Amino acid sequence: MKKYVERMVQEHSELVVRIEKLDNFLYGNNGINIHTELKNNKTQEDLIKNMIDFANKSIQLRSMKTYLLALECRLNNEGIFFEDGEYLERIGKIVRVHVPDDAGNDYDKDAEE
């Protein structure tokens, strides 16, 4: 595998972990709940600050996912595929060639004998 492809795989794997962590922080069981925030913040200013922070982190998460998609496209172009947490490398492809019936192939005749 080429060095720059290895670096892309490394960057992709680190980004997957970061996205999972940020997603869990924002939307997981321990994530931010607006109703809880209303009760826990002593001032409206604190609530607004936390809501702005939530919005900024949501934008960051969306951007990270977009970059992840771009990395996956680049990896796919190099024959590397990410499926179910694994990186797979395409080493070949079967190309189907149409052979006319009257091409004079004798493989069917060998099977009959």
Contacts 24+ apart (CB under 8 A), 80-85: 80/1, 80/5, 80/8, 80/9, 82/12
How large is the greatest C-alpha to C-alpha distance in the chain, in angstroms? Answer: 92
* pLDDT given for residue 103 in this prediction: 59
* pLDDT given for residue 65 in this prediction: 97
Q: Any residues with CB less than 8 A from the CB of 60 and at least 6 apart, and which?
A: 22
Average pLDDT over the chain, rounded to whole? 82
Instruction: Give the chain's residues under pLDDT 50.
Output: none
Q: What pLDDT, in 10s, does the model give residues 77-104? A: 999 999 888 888 888 778 888 777 665 6
Query: Domain spans of the chain?
Result: 3-89
Return the SS3 of 95. coil
